[in-house]
């Protein structure tokens, strides 16, 4: 008596929606069973792949089936599919696995595309696979085109929305499908605003916080992610860099297989409700770039040169780098383009380092750090601060309303249970009660956090506070040996441009306000975020750690350093702040007299 052929069925559909509502898998199974019965084959295994594409081999059931087929001895003799497209939609991969199975003594058989083992059948199978691959790519192209147009019109294509948003049905309906859009989730949106506020202002007792510090603060405060997990550096960074939160969601940014970025021409922007202001978002992006070692080298952050990283040539936009003469006796700021290419590249000016340092620092001391000038500069920022507080109060009211609505729904459910209308053992009822409780508690918690944020908005900026700040800042800028602390200076000026006859000093009003608030909190000795200090090797070698006195001298004797704005040749960052021009006389000896005579 001959042994019947052992067959394994492989059944697949491409999407989860097809697996849930389509009849394809039951029909594939029915036809496969009939095919085996007519030939006297024995079905020994059944592999079902619901909702996975056949363009690659990243399919759990498929891999389990291949492992069973390639073991010795194989678990079956034949793999039966409805058509070759169910097995693969990639011609190369199909042939690779067909030959791998053949080496193990297992054949691939199609119900609707019966072929033999001769060379002609092999060629026909390969041609069919090419057509399947072409059809798959064409379908993907047309599907992506439709999804991009859907996004352009402001509709959501699917997937989990970014934290702070929720999916709702739109009023528009096309055919049998109802379009979906994004709306702000009041509960989670407050967490997003908190993250941006921590990055920009800190928690009221410190300066602006970095990504890791924000994640630590959120976890310590008991604030969890949308799925109840703990915050990590990557999750916080994604929130801070998503343009979705200023109303511009980017769709089709990466290839789904390789995760490589697509060209900008392929990306579509979808309009969504904004959670944070555009100005606030841009400030945070500038701060993130300035802290990134890829954008700002550590020598710019913690080097001994006062204006390194913030001094630029006004003619070409290149950095003013340090040059020395007479074996280091003289030091100069020189345009990097001019230093490399000569005057043909840029006619930029060479300025003695000590002279330029004194000019910038004394000008800030004598002109900027005056109470009336500070009040004039910060008036607009303080007005925006008041408007932001009003928006937060409105948001708190919405959160309180949402908590009250959830509480009212809970009371109605409890009444229904007491009156015997609802069954307490119903699992859906338990899930609904738990959902309403979570919504109510989260809304109350976010409302309390928002109220605390308003209270932590910092002390009231009074004329006396401005006077005290100006006096303290002038005192702290100077070191004991008569030099300047670079971290204190950079909290007041973030860019210096040197022209042939003029010097332009620029700064951010928001950074100036944060510096003032940090000084008023009396909990920070300096300004901004921690400086970039290298981790010195423990052993005494060529990279040994310097002595404490040398370290203090290198870091300007300061424990913290300000937010910095990086600059590259040809790149001029945007400043939402103040700027002032100072004339540069040709005679260096007249610099100090001319500088003190200017009006800031």
Cα within 13 Å of Cα(28), Cβ side: 25
Q: Above 70 in pLDDT, residue 460? A: no
Token pair, residue 487, equals: 């971290």
pLDDT tens for 211-244 read 998 999 999 888 888 888 899 999 999 999 999 9
pLDDT at 331 over 70: yes
**Structure token pair of residue 285:** 């992006």
Pairing between strand 330-335 and 320-325?
antiparallel
State how far the Cα of 17 lies from the Cα of 21, in Å rounded to an integer. 6
CB burial string 285-323: b at 16+ within 10 A, e below: ebbbebbeeeebeeebbbbebbbbbbbbbbbbbbbbbbe
Q: How far apart are CA 182 and CA 167, in angstroms?
A: 5
User: Are 387 and 487 a contacting pair, CB within 8 Å?
Assistant: no
pLDDT digits (tens, 9 = 90+) for 133-169: 888 888 888 888 888 888 888 888 888 899 999 988 8
pLDDT digits (tens, 9 = 90+) for 5-26: 999 999 988 765 555 556 678 8
> pTM for this one?
0.53
H helix runs in 478-590, sequence order: 486-490, 509-521, 548-554
- 85 is written with which tokens? 């497209």
| DSSP state at residue 217 | H
**Residue bearing tokens 């029915």:** 30
Cβ within 8 Å of residue 343, ≥6 positions away:
none
Q: What Å distances lie between residue 208 and 284, 491, 527, 528, 532, CA to CA?
A: 10, 12, 9, 6, 15
- pLDDT confidence tier of residue 355, bands split at 50, 70 and 90: confident
Q: Please check whether residue 546 is in contact with residue 554, taking contact to mean a CB–CB distance below 8 angstroms.
A: yes
Per-residue pLDDT band for 482 (boundaries 50, 70, 90) equals: low
pLDDT score, position 254: 85
pLDDT for the residue 274: 92
pLDDT higher at 203 or 284: 284
Instruction: For residue 73, say if its preceding peptide bond is cis, omega within 30 degrees of 0.
Output: yes
**Crossing angle, helix 60-70 and helix 91-103, to 10 degrees?**
30
Q: What is the layout of strands, in order, in the sheet containing 577-583?
A: 311-313, 495-498, 502-508, 577-583
Percent of the chain residues past pLDDT 90, beyond the cut: 16
pLDDT given at position 534: 47
Distance (Å, rounded) from C-alpha 384 to C-alpha 361? 29
Percent of the chain with pLDDT over 70: 76
| The pLDDT value given to residue 588 | 43
| All residues at 6 or more sequence positions from 380 whose CB lies less than 8 Å from its CB, including other chains | 509
- Is the Cβ–Cβ distance between 494 and 566 less than 8 Å? no
DSSP for 123-152 reads HHHHHHHHHHHHHHHHHHHHHHHHHHHHHH
Asked whether 413 and 433 are in contact (CB, 8 A), the reply is: yes
Indicate whether 596 pLDDT > 60: no
Of 364, 313, 366, which is closest to residue 343 (Cα–Cα)?
313
> Which has more confidence, 521 or 282?
282
Give the pLDDT score at 224: 87
Residue 37 pLDDT: 92
- Res. 94: pLDDT tops 80: yes
Q: How many CB atoms lie within 10 A of CB 448?
A: 12
Question: 392: how many CB neighbours lie within 10 A of its CB?
Answer: 18
> Which pLDDT does position 63 carry in this prediction?
92
Cβ-based neighbour number of residue 276 at 10 Å:
22
Q: What is the token pair recorded at 307? A: 């204006």
pLDDT at site 583:
61
Least confident residue range of 200-209, 297-306, 383-392, 532-541? 532-541
CA–CA gap between residue 565 and residue 313 (Å, rounded): 15
Return d(Cα 195, Cα 242) in angstroms, integer: 12
């Amino acid at each position: 008596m001959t042994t019947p052929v052992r067959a394994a069925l492989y059944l697949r559909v491409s999407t989860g929606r097809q697996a849930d509502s389509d009849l394809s898998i039951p029909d594939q199974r029915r036809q496969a069973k009939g095919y085996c019965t007519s030939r006297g084959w024995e079905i020994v295994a059944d592999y079902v792949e619901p909702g996975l594409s056949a363009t690659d081999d990243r399919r759990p059931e498929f891999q389990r089936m291949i492992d069973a087929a390639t073991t010795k001895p194989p678990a079956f003799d034949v793999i039966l599919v409805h058509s070759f497209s169910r097995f693969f939609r990639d011609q190369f991969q199909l042939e690779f696995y067909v030959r791998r199975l053949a080496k193990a003594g297992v054949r691939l058989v199609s119900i609707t595309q019966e072929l033999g083992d001769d060379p002609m059948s092999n060629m026909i199978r390969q041609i069919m696979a090419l057509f399947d691959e072409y059809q798959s790519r064409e379908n993907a192209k047309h599907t992506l085109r439709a999804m991009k147009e859907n996004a352009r019109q402001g509709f959501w294509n699917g997937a989990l929305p970014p934290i702070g948003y929720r999916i709702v049905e739109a009023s528009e309906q096309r055919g049998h499908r109802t379009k979906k859009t994004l709306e702000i989730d009041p509960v989670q949106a407050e967490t997003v605003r908190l993250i941006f506020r921590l990055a920009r202002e800190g928690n009221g007792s410190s300066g602006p916080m970095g990504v890791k510090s924000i994640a630590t603060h959120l976890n310590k405060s008991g604030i969890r992610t949308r799925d109840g997990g703990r915050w990590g550096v990557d999750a916080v960074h994604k929130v801070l860099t998503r343009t979705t939160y200023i109303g511009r969601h980017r769709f089709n940014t990466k290839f789904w297989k390789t995760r490589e970025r697509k060209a900008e021409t392929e990306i579509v922007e979808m309009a969504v409700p904004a959670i944070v202001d555009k100005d606030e978002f841009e400030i945070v992006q500038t701060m993130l770039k300035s802290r990134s070692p890829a954008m700002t080298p550590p020598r710019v952050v913690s080097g001994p040169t006062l204006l390194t990283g913030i001094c630029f040539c006004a003619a070409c936009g290149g950095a003013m780098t340090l040059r020395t003469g007479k074996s280091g006796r003289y030091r100069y700021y020189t345009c990097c383009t001019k230093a490399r290419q000569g005057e043909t590249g840029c006619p930029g000016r060479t300025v003695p380092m000590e002279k330029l340092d004194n000019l910038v620092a004394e000008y800030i001391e004598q002109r900027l750090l005056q109470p009336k000038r500070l009040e004039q500069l910060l008036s607009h920022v303080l007005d925006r601060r008041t408007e932001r507080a009003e928006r937060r109060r409105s948001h708190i009211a919405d959160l309180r309303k949402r908590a009250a609505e959830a509480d009212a729904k809970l009371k109605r459910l409890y009444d229904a249970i007491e009156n015997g209308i609802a069954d307490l053992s119903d699992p859906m009822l338990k899930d609904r009660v738990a959902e309403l409780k979570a919504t109510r508690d989260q809304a109350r918690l976010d409302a309390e956090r928002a109220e605390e944020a308003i209270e932590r908005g910092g002390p009231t900026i009074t004329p006396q506070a401005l006077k005290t700040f100006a006096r303290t800042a002038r005192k702290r800028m100077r070191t004991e040996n008569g030099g300047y602390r670079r971290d204190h200076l950079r909290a007041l000026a973030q860019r210096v441009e040197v022209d042939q006859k003029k010097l332009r000093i620029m700064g951010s009003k928001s950074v100036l306000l944060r510096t003032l608030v940090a000084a008023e909190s009396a909990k920070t000795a300096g300004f901004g975020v921690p400086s970039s200090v290298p981790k010195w090797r423990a052993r005494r070698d060529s990279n040994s750690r310097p002595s404490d006195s040398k370290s203090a001298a290198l870091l300007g004797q300061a424990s913290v350093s300000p937010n910095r704005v990086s600059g590259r040749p040809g790149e001029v960052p945007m400043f939402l702040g103040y700027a002032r021009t100072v004339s540069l006389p040709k005679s260096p000896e007249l610099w100090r007299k001319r500088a003190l005579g200017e009006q800031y």
